Structure 1
Amino acid sequence: MLRTKLNLLLIALLLCVAGSADAGSLSVIGQSRWVEVGRVIDGDTFRTRAGEKVRLLGINTPEIAHDRQPAQPYGMDAKRQLEQLISGKTVRLQLDRDKKDNYGRTLAQVYLRDGSWINALLVRNGLALVYTFAPNFRWAQQLLNEEAVARRDMLGIWKSEQFKVLEARDVTARLIGQFRLLRGRIKASGPFRFQLGKLTITIPRSSRQWFAPSHMPKDGQQVIVRGRIRTSTGGGLFLALHSPYDLE
């Protein structure tokens, strides 16, 4: 009788261990799954056949025409390339820490069965720029490396006046609201802010946790920043950095 009870206890323990292992496996698998592509919406968004809306993580492609807004340069090129790459196919979604954006779209790196990385292909071909927000940093540096090659080779959007890297000294009020890459030499720096040409570059309080002291540039250093150009309450121009990958 005692032996039977011990055997039952041993079986129960083994089942608990197996259950824990399965749970761990499921949590890992939950970061990566396969879906069937339905309709491509634009260069960085598509719907699955099941109706899920997926936004390619870590990149941004030019806008296509919508809501009476004209298409940006290379917007349709990006959409057509995404259609050629994934339409009607089964693709793998790889997720980062934040799984959804504010619009309820699934944020994912997208891969074909042969291992081709769709997000990186769009960037490398000059049809997307890197667009990173905390805390989804896992692929940021790899995507920046691809972007650097596309910028060097002047591919796609990097040939366009609307996207090419702009000298900070040339920024004017007509660029307010635009997301741009700006290059310049720092004139003056302070805690979580510095001056670049006509712009004040700031790091919002909510984003400072992501910036180590080594990330902060020094006076006289030449940098490239990326972000949306805005106007301050005092009428000056500023750009906020939300990620250490917004600063090169």
Structure 2
Amino acid sequence: MEHWQDIRRIHISALLLAILFLFYPSYADSTSISDDHQKCEYQIVSRVIDGDTFELSNGIRVRLIGVDTPETVDPREDVQWFGREAAKKLKGWISGKRVCLKRDRDMTQDIDTHGRLLRYIWSESTRTEKDGLFVNAELIKQGYGLAYTDYPFQYLEEFRKYEKDARRNNRGLWNRKKQKLWEKEVERNKSLSRTCGRENTICPQDTIRHIGEYRTVRFFVRKSYDSGKAVFLNSKNDFRDYDNFTAVILVGDSTLQKENKNKFPKEPADYYWGKTLDVTGRIVEYEGRAEIILERPSQIKIVR
């Protein structure tokens, strides 16, 4: 379910996995957790990619076993209902933290076709969660994901029960009333973006013909991404498309970039996603595509 340069990363992940398993004894911590007698592999999570995938500090990617959350980063698809909420929840639980990883007891699958480890994970124990939070299960219980039952795994029946209970109680993605309102708002914003070309604006697909010009671009933010150094607001699902337009907010570690970040709304990738924007500035070319670097909030206007 990757988006940002994942194609190139698959081969790198496979190489890292080969090295990892070659030196496996140094990789695993043999401390057990929860009622399961399998051994933990303790690792630090460097970043969350979406609701069911994350990356470890050693660069290895992990896909949660038995749970499937709505798409947010697949370059072939629009962001799906409740996908961003699932990613945000997983980030809050594990990003930057030490977690326990376990293989499936039956070892039906260990690595997926994208080169990702397939694992169950637990957060470290807390005052309220003595054995740590069983993240795979909790995502389903709280309605952030579905039970992924295409392949057998040791908790399959339990996960099916958790999904049934979440569905029955309209939790999270199962709340159809909220889903309809969300879909209606997304469609409203998409229709607003189709007014590009009016009110002294240009359309995103035309920006490449206006490199060097100071213009206002009206577009719907289909995908947004915070790399930690910059926030990217994209007009296309796949940022690599030749006619994609990107508005870039620099939010890195430099003093100037930190000051810049504080001028914009908190978590701008979330704030601006799914909205139609009028972005004003000088259009520049980067790797064959058009973009505008944003230095102040006055350069962005949400079209109502």
Give the alignment's TM-score, normalised by structure 2: 0.42
Q: Pairwise mapping of residues 126-165 of structure 1 onto structure 2 (< 5 A)? A: 126-134=143-151, 136-160=152-176
Q: Deviations over 1:109-153 (max 9, x none)?
A: 11011121001111011110000233x420111111211210110
**CA radius of gyration, larger in:** 1
Q: How many residues are treated as equivalent by the alignment?
A: 137
For residue 104 of structure 1, give the secondary structure of its aligned residue in structure 2. coil
**What is the CA–CA distance in structure 2 between the aligned matches of 1:146 and 1:63, rounded to whole Å?**
20
- Letter aligned with residue 82 of structure 1: L
**What is the CA–CA distance in structure 2 between the aligned matches of 1:74 and 1:141, rounded to whole Å?**
24
- Letter aligned with residue 110 of structure 2: K
Match of 1:112 in 2: 123
Q: Pairwise mapping of residues 138-217 of structure 1 onto structure 2 (< 5 A)? A: 138-160=154-176
- Letter aligned with residue 135 of structure 2: I
- Letter aligned with residue 124 of structure 1: K
Q: Deviations over 1:29-74 (max 9, x none)?
A: 9853111001100000000000010000001000014426310000
- Letter aligned with residue 168 of structure 2: R
**What is the CA–CA distance in structure 2 between the aligned matches of 1:139 and 1:68, rounded to whole Å?**
30
1:34 and 1:91 in contact (8 A); partners too: yes
Give the alignment's TM-score, normalised by structure 1: 0.51
CA drift of 1:104 comes to 1.2
**What is the CA–CA distance in structure 2 between the aligned matches of 1:153 and 1:111, rounded to whole Å?**
25
Match of 1:101 in 2: 112
| Structure 2 unaligned residues grouped into runs of 5+ | 1-29, 126-131, 180-304
For residue 165 of structure 2, give the secondary structure of its aligned residue in structure 1. helix
For residue 59 of structure 2, give the secondary structure of its aligned residue in structure 1. coil
Match of 1:67 in 2: 75
Match of 2:142 in 1: 125
| Structure 1 unaligned residues grouped into runs of 5+ | 1-25, 164-248
1:132 and 1:140 in contact (8 A); partners too: yes
**What is the CA–CA distance in structure 2 between the aligned matches of 1:106 and 1:72, rounded to whole Å?**
24
Match of 2:95 among 84, 87, 91: 87
Match of 2:48 in 1: 40
- Letter aligned with residue 161 of structure 2: N
Q: What percentage of aligned pairs have identical amino acids?
A: 36
Pairwise CA RMSD of aligned residues?
Answer: 2.6
2:139 and 2:145 in contact (8 A); partners too: yes
Q: Which runs of 4+ in 1 moved over 2 A?
A: 28-32
Q: Deviations over 1:189-246 (max 9, x none)?
A: xxxxxxxxxxxxxxxxxxxxxxxxxxxxxxxxxxxxxxxxxxxxxxxxxxxxxxxxxx
